[in-house]
Amino acid sequence: MKKQLLITGICAAIVLAACGNKGGAKEDTTVAVESSESMFEESSGNMIDESSAAVSKAKIHLKYSNLVDSETRDRVSNALKNAGLSDEKIKNFFAAVDEYNNAVGSENLVQSMTTIDGAFPTYEQDKLIDAWLLKGGYVGRNCRITSYSLIGDFVNVGNKTPGDTTMLFNDFESIENKKIFEGDDKSKFDTLFSYIDVTNTHDTKVLAEEIVKSWKDKQITFDNDKIHIISVFMTMDDGMNKVQEFIGHTGILVQDGDKYLFIEKLAFEMPYQVDEFDSLQDVNDYLMGYYDNEAEGLTAKPIIFMDGKVMDEYRVLE
């Protein structure tokens, strides 16, 4: 039992860090491969310790940007506008992007839309976090805050009675300190991202049905078919309390011609990222390839939702 609690706790910490780490301590927000003394060179030309390389099961070559260059920014701006976002929402989004990029130094980010050999980028995390801390570890945004800030106008919550929001304390601190949203928007945010009590099972079909029922009870709906919130539901099981499903990572999906753009913030102290995909299957595989890092099968697999239901393209990668 001690082993299960320890491993499950570690898994939960890794998952939460993916979208929620904030504060003075440096924490690794990627999954590490086995220790190695060798070095390799990324496309950016920086030398990275291979032991901190991001690991993914997905068999894709990721194409991504950190929204430094004007070409990618214009492309994302136009896609968001075509999806119905207001000019103010788009302006506020890029102001937040610039705040982060200026804090860590744009020279530490990719300078344009870049294709890599792997399915998830490896960042020089210590350098980024050091730069972030030099700015006082300013109150930033994570994946949930970023996603809701973009799609909030198209989210309806009829029953604003959130479940357990205990683990959203970092989100709440940032929202309060920066007055990111208040009133009705804050109530909608709390309800949308609150943790959901579920059956203690590894059956993702059962868990998905319980998530859908919880959102139906809260009367959560989405009313814009041109922009979607993609949510990675993960399991919280400390061995002592009720098992819960929660959104461990999330991002916004829009179309740009025949391509899909996935807009995400990796963590409070980690970059904004926009990824280009040819298909929705690639979107699922990108997320499952990286976030399905459960230890020894102790928890259920992540479940990928598009808006209020499981993605049609959802599958677990081997």
CA–CA distance, 42 with 15 (Å, rounded to integer) = 25
CA–CA distance, 250 with 273 (Å, rounded to integer) = 12
User: What is the arithmetic mean of pLDDT over 7-27?
Assistant: 46
Residue in this structure with the two tokens 């393209």, named with its chain if needed: 313
Helix axes 143-151, 169-178, angle to 10 degrees: 60
CA–CA distance, 24 with 13 (Å, rounded to integer) = 16
User: What is the arithmetic mean of pLDDT over 59-84?
Assistant: 98
User: What is the arithmetic mean of pLDDT over 114-122?
Assistant: 95
- Flag whether pLDDT at 182 surpasses 80: yes
Per-residue pLDDT, 40: 24
- Flag whether pLDDT at 175 surpasses 80: yes
Instruction: Please state the φ and ψ torsions of residue 33, each to the nearest 5 degrees.
Output: -80, 175
Helices (H), the chain: 2-20, 70-82, 87-104, 125-134, 143-151, 169-178, 183-193, 204-217, 280-291
Please check whether residue 45 is in contact with residue 107, taking contact to mean a CB–CB distance below 8 angstroms.
Answer: no
3-class secondary structure for 254-316?
A: EEECCEEEEEEEEECCEEEEEEEECCHHHHHHHHHHHHCCCCCCCCCCCEEEECCEECCCCCC
For the chain, the average pLDDT equals 85
Q: What angle do CA 66, 71, 76 make, to 5 degrees?
A: 65
Whole-structure pTM value: 0.86
| Interior/surface letters 292-304, b for 16+ CB within 10 angstroms, e for the rest | bbbeeebbbbbbb
Which of residues 53 and 313 earns the better pLDDT score? 313
* pLDDT (tens digit per residue) in 24-63: 444 433 332 222 222 222 333 333 343 357 789 999 999 9
Per-residue pLDDT, 195: 97
- Flag whether pLDDT at 16 surpasses 90: no
- CA-closest candidate to residue 231, choices 208, 210, 209: 208
- 39, β-bridge pairs: 49
- 275, β-bridge pairs: 64, 262
Max distance between CA atoms of the chain, in angstroms, equals 55
Lowest-pLDDT choice from 30-34, 94-98, 230-234, 255-259: 30-34
Per-residue pLDDT, 304: 98
User: What is the arithmetic mean of pLDDT over 113-121?
Assistant: 96
CA–CA distance, 233 with 244 (Å, rounded to integer) = 10
Per-residue pLDDT, 209: 98
Q: How confident is the model at residue 6 (pLDDT cuts 50, 70, 90)?
A: very low
3-class secondary structure for 203-228?
A: CHHHHHHHHHHHHHHCCEEECCCCEE
- Flag whether pLDDT at 114 surpasses 70: yes
Lowest-pLDDT choice from 5-14, 129-138, 189-198: 5-14
Helix axes 87-104, 70-82, angle to 10 degrees: 150
* pLDDT (tens digit per residue) in 195-243: 999 999 999 999 999 999 999 999 999 999 999 999 999 999 988 999 9
| Interior/surface letters 15-29, b for 16+ CB within 10 angstroms, e for the rest | bbbbbbbbeeeeeeb
Q: Are strands 309-310 and 303-306 parallel, antiparallel or unpaired?
A: antiparallel
User: What is the arithmetic mean of pLDDT over 155-168?
Assistant: 94
Per-residue pLDDT, 297: 74
